[in-house]
Structure 1
């Protein structure tokens, strides 16, 4: 039986909803903190305490008995970040700074932070490694960069482990249908047509099972994973993702012009060198989404689109 208690912020989000049950299955006790703007899809469990709260209210976050923090909470993705920049800075940067400070004062020795592979901005390099300059172009990226810098200043006080994930894909009970692989798959299943804007833009991708396994790997191997790590194993163009979906779902692909300059690649050799191995890929994610849809386990709901839901329910 594992005696450690883990605080997971953003625990009822897309990644948290997959991560928390994995932690519970491994015997951890979990305190799951989230505003629950998008609902709560976590299973009930004797070792799970769900706290409906806001990371901005740092003074009300009880760190008594907490061994490690996995900090997922943020205003996720560029459009949502730009929707209300003040909110984005408060949640994604300021609250992270305050939580790190409180963690230090509470004697917590491990802080795992979910940054973003998009902090590099638009790069020409084929291999975007952790030592390249950060040139974030959106509020979302900028807050991630600032939070990273602040957290690194606590590296002498606790193990600071920063992950720069690629775009996550795959199935979660708290689904997101506004990320490329999931969105294109749902379009094909529902409309028999995929609309691709541009198509040449490259996105790095990681399966939701791999990113959540990585957080647990970091939790259990702080000595190997302190510092900053990219996490994304497939750099694929939007058009190639659409074609992968088309190979599994009978649908047409319609291409329309795009003014989106964002072209992200990342190299994850540093992470692979620690011994972490991904088990799934984009192809797996597409197959799992199709199966869930056909079995009636996946529906196209407004709450699975962050921007649409935040505009309607939150702001």
Structure 2
């Protein structure tokens, strides 16, 4: 297949694209590269630097499938510039979907977010639950989902609502819970937990990228899928980190009320199975840090990098 991956140089894209190439696919990797490009050259890989808001800049010639990862990632970054967030995460998605239909693209896989559920006391949050997005980021994801589902008669639309992704990527992110707490423990021997009782689902980066490939290879599974396999309180994650890296845990108040447990039975019914855990992610990060491969660098924190004006 010839696959367009947007946001290809990001946290997930930097792991996904090499896997696609290894499986014999041709990949057009489209990314604005605010945080750099960590993709290794390959004859089957065409890396294009461009802005997803410029619809005409995205070449859809001969594209069989789109994996749309591009967005302003996480709540604080989305709230930093709401207009930019809506332009990238929602309006650009609408333009891309329309152009994909006109170009005859038959497959569209979209990376939404499990955070579209907002705060939920439900014991099991399934795909049929009403959405209550709290932030600009969550709202744009919900909006983009609804836009894409309107094209389900024109192409195979597969929407993934991932849990918080953990683990190592060449374009690392140290502002997601497991990775952030692990780096705190490694870098300063102390873990700061805000609140701690909020429950969040988690998924290893190898599993989420394998899932996109699984869906690519199984077009019969269309629709919306939760993707998260360990629902853990933030305090529990900190304790798992402290078990691997001796560190003091300090708990402080939090103004982030998001708490939810997602149920991924619909995804499991397709035959997909996760292979890694939060503990695997922690142990891998510890090993890479001690080898000097993983470092605490500013461009691994999306908000910090954007606030410093490095994305303009």
Tell me the distance in 2 between the aligned counterparts of 1:234 and 1:16: 22
3-state SS in 1 of match to 2:124: coil
Alignment partner, residue 213 of structure 1 = 210
* TM-score (norm. length: structure 2): 0.99
Tell me the distance in 2 between the aligned counterparts of 1:48 and 1:60: 17
Alignment partner, residue 269 of structure 2 = 273
Q: Deviations over 1:33-58 (max 9, x none)?
A: 00000000001100000000011001
Q: Deviations over 1:148-183 (max 9, x none)?
A: 000000000000000000000000000000000000
Counterpart selection for 1:254 from 233, 250, 254: 250
Query: Is the 8 Å Cα contact of residues 122 and 260 (structure 2) preserved in structure 1?
Result: no
Tell me the distance in 2 between the aligned counterparts of 1:80 and 1:258: 18
Shift of 1:31: 0.3
Query: Is the 8 Å Cα contact of residues 9 and 33 (structure 2) preserved in structure 1?
Result: yes
Aligned 1:49-88 pairs, distance under 5 A: 49-88=46-85
Give the length in aligned residue pairs: 311
Query: Is the 8 Å Cα contact of residues 35 and 311 (structure 2) preserved in structure 1?
Result: no
Tell me the distance in 2 between the aligned counterparts of 1:186 and 1:61: 36
Tell me the distance in 2 between the aligned counterparts of 1:59 and 1:140: 24
Tell me the distance in 2 between the aligned counterparts of 1:194 and 1:127: 29
Alignment partner, residue 229 of structure 1 = 225
* TM-score (norm. length: structure 1): 0.98
Query: Is the 8 Å Cα contact of residues 53 and 88 (structure 2) preserved in structure 1?
Result: yes
Q: Tell me how large the CA RMSD over aligned residues is.
A: 0.6
Tell me the distance in 2 between the aligned counterparts of 1:121 and 1:298: 32
Counterpart selection for 1:284 from 260, 275, 280: 280
Aligned 1:115-194 pairs, distance under 5 A: 115-194=112-191
Q: Deviations over 1:196-236 (max 9, x none)?
A: 1111011100000000000000000010x200000000000
Shift of 1:259: 2.2
